[in-house]
Structure 1
Amino acid sequence: MSKDHLSEGTKFYNDVLSFFDYAASFTKHPKGLLEQIKVCNSVYETNFPLRLDNGDYEVIRAWRVQHSHHKLPVKGGIRFAENVNADEVKALASLMTFKCALVNVPFGGAKGGVKINPKKYTDRQLETITRRYTTELVKKEMIGPSIDVPAPDYGTGPREMAWIADTYALLRPGINALGCVTGKPLSQHGIRGRKEATGRGVFFALREAVSVKEDMDKLGLSVGLEGKRVIVQGFGNVGYHAALFCQEGGATVVGISEYEGGVYDPNGLDIADLFKHRLETGSLLNYKNAKNITPSNSLLEFECDVLIPAALENQIHEGNAANIKAKIIVEGANGPVTADAEKILLAKNVLILPDFYANAGGVTVSYFEWLKNLSRVSFGKITKRYDLMENTRIIQAIESSTGVAVSADLRRLIEKGADENDLVNSGLEETMITAYHQIRETLVQHKDIQDLRTAAFVSSINKIGVAYIESGIFP
């Protein structure tokens, strides 16, 4: 089959394998170990019936892929999309392995997919599909707090995760049952900060990248986010929060696109207000002074400093890469830049923050939720009040020794003990900062590596290789 006739999922998977093979050439691991790291450990496909309201039946096709068992449990989201296929799920599961290793989250990689368009089903039907899919995974021992822990992805959210948790708890009751899935509603022992985690992680990744003067000098950009013109493709959970945090961080978000079209304003968009506009009208279009852009993907080629593709894979490809004007691309989505496009962009001196680093915020905070579920206590619950009292005593001591009263605003800021949201965001920030500099360190150490994606792959492969070797599987 020619390259042009491959499905998008197969192209995506082939790109992941190509990136891996290239990065592996910079490591010293034996061929057999590299092959074990590369291949998917388990690929499960299931088909089950859904009874429709008219009495007919529809067969639902679904997958769960566990890529690597070098660490357990494995971790990865479940997407509901009508174009999902086995190769796409394999690619996403593979990226989850490298993502977890890169940011030092102790999971192997996994991913799930159900081949439906959720907009075409009622809430009752979606609940039936979700619960049946969970049951199929339970039957094959492919879900559980110590086995495989799913999470939300494209087309799913906290509601679906609650259905999964409830179904699992009914079939496998136990004290840790709620740890079988993350991204749950707060009422079902989810965690604060999870909803915005991936978008916040994208922001932290960009903020850290633009703080390195040496790299910004090469791009002809100033250090810092202030004044950087940003375009975001996708205005779902990831795109919205990435845009919002970038704006709050000092960047000027000049363009946003979605499936119905895009909007562009060189003076900057008000992200929170644009979100409200879309809720009220059902569309991004016709927003205040912004110019409507159709087709929406043409906005990728507009003038900007930073481009954040936060929609689906294969959005920047061989056909449009030469027209991309951004100097920095932050991959908020999985696989938005094809391998062929990346070659063109690197030749143009574009800095690409790879997906399995840039969008690692979700799995990082999912890890915190999993720990919360296993420990059965909220972060900050034990220490917050103690910290508040200790900080109050420190302020009183300062006031007593200096004779100067601390202002009310400063007192509130200092006294406040860290709650769950504070600790989650702090942990996420530390994770993204540390991982970025590990990637750059790998880049510096390997003079033949010219891009962050290869450096990130090398870093991940080395960590996974050590885990396999020290497990005794590859002595």
Structure 2
Amino acid sequence: MSGHQEYSFFGAVEQSFDKAAKFTNWDLGILEQIKQCNSVYRMHFPVKIGDKIEVIKAYRVQHSHHKTPCKGGIRFSTSVNLDEVMALAALMTYKCAIVNVPFGGAKGGISIDPKKYTAYELEKITRRYTHELIKKNFIGPGTDVPAPDYGTGEREMAWILDTYMSMKPGEIDALGCVTGKPVTQGGVRGRREATGLGVFYGIREVCAMPDIMQKLGLAMGVAGKSVVVQGLGNVGYHAAKYFREGGAKVIAIAEYEGAITNAAGLNEEEVFQHRKKTGSILNFPGATNLASSNDALEMACDILIPAALENVVNGDNAPRVKAKIIGEAANGPLTPEADEILAAKGVLVVPDMYLNAGGVTVSYFEWLKNLSHVRYGRLEKRFTENQNKDIINQIEGLTGKKVDDNAKEKIEHGADEVDLVYSGLEETMINATREIIDCWKKNPAIPDMRTAAYVVAINKVATSYNELGIFP
């Protein structure tokens, strides 16, 4: 990081916002309202850890109430601070707007290192945090719906749900107070891989646009492209998996202990198992170690997927980045300085604020499932199967030819919950990609795809505010 002044993540989000606001013609007051965080809740609460009492610092920020409930993850990390939580909450507002998910943005965080606590201690901290949120009405299916983020997962969401339900007995939609839950607790199938799959759908759509690929000097489609993935957490792992299955070659994977590369391609599951066994991705059979994980960011490749933490590509290393396309799977992996440098080099940066919206999109499907109290596909799966069987029988009868068994199985198949979730996610990512690119094409003065994405988001949020008539 170049060290003139302290980097502010929220400041970087505001900078991107201002850059885009110039390409809209909204009243300055509305723009100012959209930029601000509506509600910021900072709390300290005591939890007994071992035989000592620890004071835990935590946050919940509701950035925008132009649509309710607010929606956003909860992260457990020592890096959690107010600036970060505010920035992530703002990104959630813009993200939901772009992908047409009717939520306002929010974010939460607890400033701890989860590795230093037992499961029982983490449960106590999570339940106490939920308790604090309930007291101030900062959680509920119609007000604010948290989800997993860095350092949290299904287990923590189940604790949040249980705490909420025990404090609000008989609330019929209580299951909708949090998403990313285990499937047995009202979760939805496909939620775990949603963000990584969404990243893949978004990049695949960009790679299917002839004019953009021509400009980058790349062939159409994902197949055959070289990909570097930074981060092998939930998002990085699934992004790597779908790119590999889509015919791309994952030539390097980076984690905080270092990076490995293999020009013939890596299999994310094998690397994951190797890391589980040895505690590191290094020394993976058939791969070459790189001294620093940052070296992977500077490798020659078609697509770079930073899927770990913020500002990993900054003013210092951006000039050395050789990727043609950068897909921001993490939140805020590029600083505004990096944006300028990469845009000048003709690199296409596909921005986080919509590219990693797979998580919130599928969270939205989970929330709808909780409110409708019925599993997706339960009502129509068998009906579709029976109908498709009839159609095949009719065709076979009319033509006197048999349909191949594999084809038959494929055609007859009625949609399961996970099929519907994937299909809804694919639809969402394709539409959002096209909308952003169209906005960019209509206004060639817009410098990059991130700014175009912000323009789309600002227009949607501002329209909402305007139509609500909330300006007395």
TM range (shorter): over 0.9
Match in the other structure for 2:116: 120
Deviation at 1:474, TM superposition (A): 3.9
Q: How does 1:294-373 map to 2 (within 5 A)?
A: 294-373=291-370
AA aligned opposite 2:388? N
Deviation at 1:272, TM superposition (A): 2.0
Match in the other structure for 2:427: 430
Match in the other structure for 1:383: 380
Out of 90-99 and 21-30, give the one that drifted further.
Answer: 21-30
AA aligned opposite 1:466? T
1:99 aligns with 2:99: no
1:20 aligns with 2:56: no
Match in the other structure for 1:183: 180
AA aligned opposite 2:395? I
8 A contact 1:199–1:237 mirrored in 2: yes
Q: Cα deviation per residue 1:327-380 (whole Å; 9 max; x = unaligned)?
A: 100000000000001100110000000001110000000000000000000110
Structure 1 CA distance, aligned partners of 2:373 and 2:59? 30
Structure 2 CA distance, aligned partners of 1:164 and 1:441? 40
Q: Cα deviation per residue 1:72-128 (whole Å; 9 max; x = unaligned)?
A: 000000000001100000000000000000000000000001000000001011000
Any stretches of 5+ residues in structure 2 without a counterpart? Answer: none
AA aligned opposite 2:418? N
The TM-score normalised by the length of structure 1 is 0.98
Deviation at 1:280, TM superposition (A): 2.0
Deviation at 1:273, TM superposition (A): 1.6
8 A contact 1:230–1:306 mirrored in 2: yes
Q: 1:86 aligns with which of 60, 76, 82?
A: 82
1:439 aligns with 2:450: no
Any stretches of 5+ residues in structure 1 without a counterpart? Answer: none
AA aligned opposite 1:473? I
Q: Cα deviation per residue 1:277-300 (whole Å; 9 max; x = unaligned)?
A: 222222111111101112112210
Deviation at 1:199, TM superposition (A): 0.2
Structure 1 CA distance, aligned partners of 2:43 and 2:4? 26
Structure 2 CA distance, aligned partners of 1:189 and 1:6? 46
Structure 1 CA distance, aligned partners of 2:5 and 2:132? 29
AA aligned opposite 1:64? R
Identity %: 58
Q: 1:148 aligns with which of 144, 148, 158?
A: 144
Match in the other structure for 1:111: 107
1:162 aligns with 2:158: yes
8 A contact 2:106–2:144 mirrored in 1: yes
Match in the other structure for 1:208: 205
Deviation at 1:3, TM superposition (A): 8.2
AA aligned opposite 2:243? C
1:468 aligns with 2:465: yes
Structure 1 CA distance, aligned partners of 2:12 and 2:2? 12
Match in the other structure for 1:272: 269
8 A contact 2:2–2:316 mirrored in 1: no
Structure 2 CA distance, aligned partners of 1:335 and 1:179? 28
8 A contact 2:302–2:324 mirrored in 1: yes
1:67 aligns with 2:63: yes
SS at match of 1:363: helix
Q: How does 1:132-147 map to 2 (within 5 A)?
A: 132-147=128-143
Q: How does 1:388-467 map to 2 (within 5 A)?
A: 388-467=385-464
Match in the other structure for 2:3: 4
8 A contact 2:37–2:61 mirrored in 1: yes
SS at match of 1:211: coil
Structure 2 CA distance, aligned partners of 1:328 and 1:113? 31
Structure 2 CA distance, aligned partners of 1:111 and 1:12? 14
Any runs of at least 4 consecutive aligned residues in structure 1 with deviations exceeding 4 A, and if so which? 5-8
Deviation at 1:406, TM superposition (A): 1.1
8 A contact 1:33–1:474 mirrored in 2: no
Match in the other structure for 1:253: 250
Structure 2 CA distance, aligned partners of 1:418 and 1:87? 43
Structure 1 CA distance, aligned partners of 2:470 and 2:196? 37
Structure 2 CA distance, aligned partners of 1:23 and 1:52? 47
SS at match of 2:3: helix
8 A contact 2:2–2:315 mirrored in 1: no
SS at match of 2:394: helix
Match in the other structure for 2:27: 30
SS at match of 1:201: helix
8 A contact 1:442–1:455 mirrored in 2: yes
Structure 2 CA distance, aligned partners of 1:111 and 1:271? 29
Deviation at 1:450, TM superposition (A): 2.3
AA aligned opposite 1:4? G
Structure 2 CA distance, aligned partners of 1:251 and 1:234? 18
Aligned residues: 471
Deviation at 1:4, TM superposition (A): 2.9
Structure 2 CA distance, aligned partners of 1:67 and 1:5? 28
Structure 2 CA distance, aligned partners of 1:266 and 1:214? 28
SS at match of 1:50: strand
Q: Aligned in 2, Cα 1:7/1:47: closer, same or farther, shift over 3 Å?
A: farther
Q: Cα deviation per residue 1:296-317 (whole Å; 9 max; x = unaligned)?
A: 1221011111100000000000
- How large is the RMSD of aligned CA atoms in angstroms? 1.2
Deviation at 1:261, TM superposition (A): 1.1
AA aligned opposite 1:20? F
